[in-house]
């Protein structure tokens, strides 16, 4: 499904950089802190936009929640001093009005806000008739419809300089990341609306500065337009998210070490080889689909047999056996355990759906 959004061409409002780097402190803590950070991150000439958090919605109270509106003038002055546009997060109409009053150049809607359509609509109403770029971060939960809905609400009031920020998703699963990337979701959004620029926020995905270079390279390899990386003049004393902020020097090293790949190649040899390999993939995919179809035919027969013998759909011991056996086979051929587990879970869900349908059909025919 394609989104029908009225979006202005990105080259009209985004810096002409590859990649676009948005950087600055997680929180604006003082006039001196944001100015010194701006002076340092701008030295490499690779940072395109200066960011800084003014209002910091925290998970629990009694922690640093930002300096408030006074920080907007500090952020703007810091941006002016190094010739960079500035961006900050807004969570309600009052934030929007304060940012417009202080001539903030760009806004973004945070993950905690995107998850609430009421809050997004309040922000959208405050932006009506305003010409300002707005980025929308993905919601905390992995729900692409909430992300799409937020973009649509902001676009509906006339904001056509619109971008998306991928910052990962909360998950109960144990992970090396603070927020699980779930790269398939931003990729799906790009398929739905390819004209929306996609920025990755490696800081919030990683949660630890040691992982930020890896996440950054992954985002660039997935053809995202830019990165939002938190940088603090002295992360050790940062009042929020200290572990995921890099120094300006570390930021410069990170950017310089990124491998920027070409989107396309004009080499005839490359194109021919790529097409050959893609043809093989197409044939294998067709074979997989046919195999899945055959598997579901067997599943349907199992459902009928279970119904005839009054047996439950879910057989936990069999499911545990499948997981163990298939994971062992996958490991032998070099497939990741995470991939095979996700694939098996999807197949299992479809198997349960098919068997449930068989049971219900049988019940309907009996009732009639």
∠ at Cα 72 (66, 78), nearest 5°? 110
Question: If you average pLDDT over residues 335-357, what whole number do you get?
Answer: 91
Q: 142-169 b/e with 16+ CB inside 10 Å = b?
A: bebebbbbbbbbbbebebbbbbbbbbbb
Question: If you average pLDDT over residues 207-218, what whole number do you get?
Answer: 96
pLDDT (0 to 100) of residue 301: 92
**CA distance linking residue 162 with residue 124, whole number of Å:** 12
Rg of the Cα trace of the chain? 25
**CA distance linking residue 176 with residue 2, whole number of Å:** 33
Contacts of 306 (CB under 8 A, 6+ apart): 312, 313, 355, 359
Three-state SS for 287? helix
**CA distance linking residue 24 with residue 241, whole number of Å:** 13
**CA distance linking residue 241 with residue 230, whole number of Å:** 9
Q: What digits encode the pLDDT tens for the residues 63-92?
A: 788 899 999 999 999 999 999 999 999 999
Residue 362: pLDDT over 60: no
Residue 368: pLDDT over 50: no
Question: If you average pLDDT over residues 106-116, what whole number do you get?
Answer: 97
- 121 vs 272 pLDDT, higher one: 121
**CA distance linking residue 154 with residue 25, whole number of Å:** 26
With beta carbons less than 8 A apart as the criterion, state whether 18 and 260 touch.
Answer: yes
Share of the chain above pLDDT 90, in %: 76
363 falls in which pLDDT band (50, 70, 90)? Answer: low
268 falls in which pLDDT band (50, 70, 90)? Answer: confident
Residue 170: pLDDT over 60: yes
Q: 79-100 b/e with 16+ CB inside 10 Å = b?
A: beebebbbbbbbbebebbebbe
């Amino acid at each position: 499904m394609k989104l029908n959004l009225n979006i202005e061409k990105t080259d009209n409002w985004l810096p002409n950089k590859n990649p676009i780097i948005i950087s600055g402190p997680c929180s604006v803590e003082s006039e001196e802190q944001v100015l010194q950070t701006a002076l340092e991150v701008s030295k490499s000439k690779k940072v395109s936009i200066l960011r800084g958090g003014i209002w910091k919605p925290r998970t629990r109270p009694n922690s640093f929640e930002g300096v408030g509106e006074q920080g907007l003038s500090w952020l703007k002055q810091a941006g002016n001093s190094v010739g960079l546009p500035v961006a900050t997060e807004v969570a309600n109409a009052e934030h929007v009005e304060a940012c417009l009053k202080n001539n903030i150049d760009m806004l973004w809607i945070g993950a905690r806000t995107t998850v609430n359509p009421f809050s997004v609509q309040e922000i959208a109403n405050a932006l009506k008739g305003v010409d300002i770029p707005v980025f929308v971060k993905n919601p905390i939960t992995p729900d692409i419809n909430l992300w799409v809905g937020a973009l649509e609400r902001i676009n509906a009031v006339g904001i056509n300089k619109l971008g998306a920020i991928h910052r990962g998703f909360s998950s109960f699963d144990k992970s090396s990341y603070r927020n699980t990337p779930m790269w398939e979701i931003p990729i799906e959004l790009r398929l739905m609306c390819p004209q929306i620029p996609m920025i990755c926020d490696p800081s919030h995905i990683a949660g630890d500065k040691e992982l930020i270079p890896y996440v950054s390279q992954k985002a660039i390899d997935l053809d995202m337009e830019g990165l939002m990386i938190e940088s603090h003049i002295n992360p050790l004393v940062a009042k929020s998210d200290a572990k995921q902020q890099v120094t300006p020097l570390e930021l410069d090293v990170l950017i310089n070490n990124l491998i920027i790949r070409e989107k396309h190649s004009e080499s005839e040899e490359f194109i021919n080889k790529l097409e050959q390999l893609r043809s093989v993939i197409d044939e294998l995919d067709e074979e997989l689909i046919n195999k899945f179809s055959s598997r579901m035919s067997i599943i349907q027969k199992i459902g009928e047999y279970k119904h005839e013998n009054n047996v439950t759909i879910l057989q936990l011991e069999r499911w545990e056996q499948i997981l163990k056996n298939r994971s062992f086979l996958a490991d032998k051929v070099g497939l990741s355990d995470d991939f095979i587990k996700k694939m098996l879970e999807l197949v299992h869900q479809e198997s349960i759906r098919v068997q449930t349908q068989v049971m219900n059909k049988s019940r309907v025919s009996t009732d009639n």
